[in-house]
Amino acid sequence: MAFLGAGGIIMPFRLAETCLIKAEALYRLGKTTEAKEVLDDFKQGRYLDVEESYTESDLLNEILKERKLEFYHEQDMWWLDMKRLQTRMERIVNGTMYILEPDDFRYSLPIPQSEMSANKNMVQNPGWNEISL
């Protein structure tokens, strides 16, 4: 399924995302054997030679590594993973350190003004009231 957005074609759902979500969910449910099977099937479709050099204790890291490889340069996926995994991010821009803490309000998006105007009971996400967009 694809949508045409202002910046081009947007692919919100991909088979790769579904497979990797399933593998991670199974892992988090304690179903490591099933998670490993899903991940290995996914990798078989991507690589000619699948080296199973990871252990069960490395399984989550392997799933997350595959996400990074699969969604390289797909910033929306990276952003969602950062939010879900509660990642702390540091960047130095022109000599100034900027830090995004896991509980930072910027991990939620502002509700558009058009939505706020349409529903007077709507409350803006915390932190975004002080910023004019």
Report d(CA 62, CA 69) in Å as an integer: 10
* Average pLDDT estimate for 26-46: 92
Taking the whole predicted model, whether its pTM rises above 0.85 is answered as: no
pLDDT at 2 over 60: no
Res 7: pLDDT = 58
Report d(CA 117, CA 35) in Å as an integer: 45
What crossing angle do the helices spanning 15-28 and 59-70 adopt, rounded to 10°?
A: 160
> Which pLDDT tens digit goes with each residue over 64-101?
999 988 888 776 777 788 888 898 999 999 999 999 99
pLDDT at 37 over 90: yes
> Which pLDDT tens digit goes with each residue over 98-114?
999 998 988 888 999 89
Average pLDDT, the chain: 84
Res 64: pLDDT = 92
Res 10: pLDDT = 62
Res 59: pLDDT = 93
* DSSP code per residue over the chain: --EEETTEEE----HHHHHHHHHHHHHHTT-HHHHHHHHHHHHHTT-SS------GGGHHHHHHHHHHHHTTT-HHHHHHHHHHTT--EEEEETTEEEEE-TT-GGGSPPPPHHHHHH-TT--PPTTSTTS--
